A = this chain, B = another copy of it.
């Protein structure tokens, strides 16, 4: 019984890691598509969203099955219920890659404008958070999870800075309003991606310490 349980728990773990890998792939392609205004790449990311949804449903069912059949206690149960939360956040981050891809397609229909100055910084900070949060799950690394939570302020600051920059651009060059609105929505999604990475890091903290302060 314990043997089966450990095998099931390992399979569950591997499935979450697999979901994280697909997310990283989508995220990197989304970033590439955004820089290159690559419509084909953007469409591919939107299509891939189904794959993540199916994997989420599969893991969800696995979790319920393990709880029902193995009746795990204490720390194992905490891990499984946390995984049920983590996969929702992973799925949402993937959703946001697809949402941004829609705006990349929209953006490509207008004349190109110069990218907001801090966009690359914001993307790099957010990307690091998502990768580190997946890593901290794989390694059960509390320090790494803590660093993710702390990094969220940086992304929020970048968001404010870019919003101000885009507002100024729209005031000075009203003809660029449609493009700037696309960028406003894109940075809002980037900010949400960082928020979900923070949620995951908080769930990892809960798995390791049992301390529930997710909010």
Identify the A interface with B (CB < 8 A): 53, 56-57, 60-61, 63-64, 67-68, 71, 73-74, 77-78, 81, 84-85, 88, 91, 163, 166-167, 170-172, 174-175, 177-178, 181, 184-185, 188, 212-215
Contact = CB atoms under 8 A, between A and B. Distances in A.
B81 A215 contact: no
A61 B177 CA distance: 47
A63 B84 contact: no
A170 B174 CA distance: 7
Contacts of A53: 215
A116 to B, nearest CB: 13
A43 to B, nearest CB: 18
Contact of A171 (B166, B174, B184, B188): B174
A177 B167 contact: yes
A170 B173 CA distance: 10
Nearest to A172: B174
A167 B178 contact: yes
A174 B173 CA distance: 9
A197 B123 CA distance: 29
Contacts of A74: 68
A163 B185 CA distance: 10
Given A63-B81, A71-B71, A81-B84, A215 B170 contact: no
Nearest to A58: B212
A185 B81 CA distance: 33
Contacts of A170: 170, 174, 177, 181
Given A60-B212, A85-B88, A163-B181, 10 more contacts: A53-B215, A67-B77, A67-B81, A68-B74, A71-B71, A91-B215, A170-B174, A171-B174, A174-B174, A181-B184
A27 B166 CA distance: 30
Nearest to A168: B177
A64 B67 CA distance: 11
Contact of A84 (B68, B85, B91, B163): B85
